[in-house]
Amino acid sequence: MANTYLVDVDLAQLRAQRSRVENRSLTDEDVRSWLLNYGFYPRMDGLYLADDAVLRLLEPSAIIAARKVGHLLH
């Protein structure tokens, strides 16, 4: 079973990184959709829940903080 993390994502940094990868300008909504598509679960406080394998998709500079919280029940 994968570990689950509570993640504070730097959306501006991730937007810049994803814009370079996709060779186009992305909006915050584009970045949020990307996060959802890859398994990041948004919370009401602006943080995300993500399994460790999913968390590895982000470059370290796009992570403000990540704290292990246990396991997600799917």
Pairing state between β 48-51 and 4-9: antiparallel
Each residue's pLDDT tens digit, 34-57 = 999 999 999 999 999 999 999 999
Residue type for position 34:
W
Number of domain units in the chain? 1
What's the rounded Cα separation, in Å, for the pair 43 and 54?
16
Average pLDDT on 60-74 reads: 83
Could you tell me the pTM of the whole model?
0.86
Give the bridge partners for 49, in sequence order: 6, 41
Domain that holds residue 54: 4-70
What's the rounded Cα separation, in Å, for the pair 3 and 10?
21
HSE value, Cβ hemisphere, 13 Å, CA-based, for 74: 9
Higher pLDDT among residues 2 and 63, named by residue? 63
